[in-house]
Amino acid sequence: MNTPPNNLKLGLGIVGTLIAAVISMSMYISRVEAKAEAAAVQAVQANKSLGEITKELHHQRELIAQIQGDSRAILQILRLRSPQ
């Protein structure tokens, strides 16, 4: 007659362990989801920053091209004015 109560205690122990495992995994999944959401936000911000940097780089390249063109024009004018 001692066997059924022992089985009941064992069964309750297993159920308690399973509940604790489910709670632990739920907490772990919540932390992973929070980290994934934070990473997604950072990725969006990084992508936005990259777009702004690319836009600024394009602007800087245009300025360099204008400066190079002006420099060539100045050199050509100086060549034409200088006696040869």
pTM of the full predicted structure? 0.54
Rounded Cα distance between 77 and 84, Å, is: 13
Q: What pLDDT is attached to residue 13?
A: 86
Handedness of CA 53, 54, 59, 60 (dihedral sign): positive
pLDDT at 1: 44
Average pLDDT per run of 10 along the chain, which is 84 residues long?
Answer: 65 90 95 96 96 96 97 93 77
pLDDT of residue 8: 74
